Chain A
Amino acid sequence: MLSRIADSIYWMSRYLERAGDTARLMEINLLYLLEAEEDMSEGDKWRPLLSITSAETAFSGLYGEGQLTQGRVLQFMTAEKSNGNSIRTCLRLARENARIARDRISREMWEAINELWLNVDQQLKTPLHPLRASQFFSLVRSEVARFHGLTSTTMMRGEAFGFYRLGTFLEQADMTARILDVKYHLLLPDLNLVGSALDYYQWAALLKSLSGYEAFRRKYHAGFRPMDVVEFTIFEQEFPRSLAYTVKRMHRALADTGITGKQRSPIALERLEAMLAGNSAEQIFSTGLHEFLEEFLAAIAALNQAAQADFLDTHMEEP
């Protein structure tokens, strides 16, 4: 297939997944704040969200330092046009990439993404009221899920499907690592709180952000031990958002893209696989979870670059 179209499909799925993940994060944070401690400042409540999406600099650039309020974060994360990771921007770019690849995706996929964009663009023309926000986020999440469902039932299995899956899993792995990193930092320092009610809600929020709360509860019965959460979110082969699961799927997706004879992305993927294979939660804790996650995120970024270079760069030889 055309290199440029491969790139568009890849970015279509990344942006769409990012919009869905951001919606889930925002939704969980809103719910969690309803029950947060009284003395927590608005800034403390919302800073982690900006941090997860690497948006702190852009936010303070727009509003100035120390201007962190719920209303502004809501606006910034949903509608702000200058925020490359706002839900509106992600959906606009996802839809634009879908439009570029319109002749390559199914009609059902196109209509789903087009309707979602039109709907969201319309809703965000006026500021999102905090009481309406949950509903909005849940719409985005369920529409993204619907898109994935339509894709899996209508899209031909082949190269294009490989690029779609590669984008989706890469974005998921990236988001899982980010959520884990930020929440871990936020959660862990105060060991006195282990076992407290606050602790419970915070770990629950982390797992809910990854849609893994119920599965975790079923598997672990000893409360929210940090070690178990790390084991679950990094190594659990059966949890669809764990790093191990997504990396394994990326391997398959990359094979499906058929970009043979290209060396860069397989090498970059091997690096990710090596970071997980033969590793364990204990080992990660002993060397530092944050260090591990930082390295993992860098390896994902490197894979992204390698993959894009691979599909955009065409051998100037006839096959």
Chain B
Amino acid sequence: MAAISSDTSRKPRISYHEFYTDGFTPREHYRPLWEHIQSVGQNAFEAKVHESQLALHAEGVTFTVYGDSDEGIERIWPFDLIPRIIPASEWNIIESGLKQRVRALNLFLKDIYHDQRILKDGVVPAELIYQGKDFRREIMGVDPPHDIYTHISGIDIIRDEDGKYLVLEDNLRTPSGVSYMIENRVIERRILPEFFAKYRVRRVEHYPALLLEALRAVSPRGTGQAEIVVLTPGIYNSAYFEHTFLAKEMGVELAEGRDLVAKDDVVYLKTTTGLQRVDVIYRRVDDDFLDPLVFRSDSTLGVAGIINAWRAGNIAIVNAPGNGIADDKAVYPYVPDIIRYYLAEAPILQNVPTYQMTDPEERAYVLDNLERMVVKAVSESGGYGMLMGPASTPALRKEFAAKVLENPRNYIAQPVVQLSRHICYMDGELEARHLDLRPFIIYGDDIDVVPGGLTRVALTKGSLVVNSSQGGGSKDTWVLAE
């Protein structure tokens, strides 16, 4: 938790520049790239940008923005050609920090849905868990295959003004973006192969193979009999492109809820030649919609009886139901304590200082300083339900203050961190934009962190909002081999 006295948010600080040490000198690891960009010339570079746009367009690399058009608003994935480069020494810290964090969060979930030692020991307040919208008492005592809950995590990382990597947010339910990470790499290599010749960039395209391996590893009938499906809400979901991408890359079926049926605690696919048993479901449908018999009864996206089949040990659900309580933003401030509690280790990656709105003193401080705060609804994602203080209006701040007072458990606040910046190619100019990083972590037989991740860019000058649903873009992300 943030100590109010050490708060430095009153002094505006300058964000860390990923590319330059000052306004002119590229950092050591960017120098070969910089020289190359200089030598290409603007016209040629412009042509490359155009080419990359055409490729994304033709391939239909899209995401869907929610709207009320019956044709759906599909947008082409926004992509900036200038890669972000992370040196091996920095990546080692990120990688070990993420492994540590995921291992601890997984133990936390197992504990929360079994003995709840951490609550009894008073490390995390019990009411915080019980009041969490995503705590699923229906699954208390269930043992998922191999005790894995967080098979796939996407953990958002930013760099503060000093260039220190901090965890901004844990995504342990259905994190998306991995297909864009791979598409970015594919396009970058096709359009600018000469960039790669200057570096030893670690590969990311084997992600679907790692995922398939992890999914096979949790099959209740053993890896020899692993019928796997990707469960999607359908073509109007914002990440539908990713669902088809993963199904296709892994060579497994992409199913909707209506393609599945549960009978006697076994789940089957409805095929043209009859029912076919399913062992592992990589679901991209939220808990709420997963099983109308257990959660929301009005859901048409899920499968009636799927939770009973899971309880009976006949299928693996990936990620496990109930994970939302571990990436609840109100639990986030406790993650460092959670790491210390289960692993007896010091956290390698720090959190962004966070104020708890349930604490009267911290709440009063935040409400007095709203224009310098980011306020987030604890169970929303994708940039929804959020107040960006510096960019807000007095009316909006008043509205948020009322919401916070009405339901303090539902909000947290953080001082505005000036996310680090990177050059982007914007209409013929190289301009600095803020960015973050979402690496992906797969927990199967072992924990793997894919070297790279999705770098999201705020395309609007000065903006700190990077979500694609809010108009953000992306960059290929290079992790260098040692």
Contacts and interface: CB of A to CB of B under 8 A. Distances in A.
Interface stretch (A92-100, A178-186, A290-298): A92-100
B272 A3 contact: yes
A1 interface: yes
B268 A318 contact: yes
A199 interface: no
Interface stretch (B39-47, B110-118, B252-260): B252-260
B417 interface: no
B273 A102 contact: no
Nearest to A7: B272
B244 A4 contact: no
A111 B58 contact: yes
A311 B272 CA distance: 5
A6 interface: yes
Interface in B96-111: none
B276 A319 contact: yes
Nearest to B54: A115
A257 interface: yes
Given A2-B255, A103-B254, A319-B276, A314 B271 contact: yes
B272 A314 contact: yes
A103 B268 contact: no
B13 interface: no
Interface in A249-298: 257-261
B71 interface: yes
Nearest to A117: B60
A159 interface: yes
A114 B258 contact: no
Contacts of B240: 99
Contact of B272 (A92, A100, A258): A258
Interface string A97-110: 00110110001001
A115 B58 contact: yes
B59 interface: yes
Contacts, number: 79
Contacts of A258: 272-273
A317 B274 contact: yes
Nearest to A98: B60
A112 B179 CA distance: 21
A1 B58 contact: no
B270 interface: yes
Contacts of B277: 318
B263 to A, nearest CB: 7
A102 B243 CA distance: 10
A2 B60 contact: no
A118 interface: yes
A316 interface: yes
A86 to B, nearest CB: 14
B259 A4 contact: yes
Nearest to B59: A111
A315 interface: yes
Contacts of A2: 253, 255, 259, 269-272
A100 B236 CA distance: 10
A230 B259 CA distance: 44
Interface in B116-133: none
B273 A319 contact: yes
Given A2-B253, A99-B60, A114-B58, A319 B274 contact: yes
B244 A102 contact: yes
A319 B275 contact: yes
Interface string A1-14: 11111100000000
Contact of B60 (A103, A110, A314, A316): A110
Interface of A: 1-6, 92, 96, 99-100, 102-103, 107, 110-111, 114-115, 118, 159, 257-261, 310-311, 314-319
Pairs of residues from A and B, 4 with the lowest C-beta to C-beta distance, nearest first:
A314-B270, A103-B248, A102-B244, A319-B274
Given A103-B247, A114-B59, 17 more contacts: A1-B253, A1-B272, A2-B259, A3-B259, A92-B71, A99-B240, A103-B253, A103-B254, A110-B59, A111-B59, A114-B58, A118-B57, A159-B272, A259-B272, A314-B274, A314-B275, A319-B273
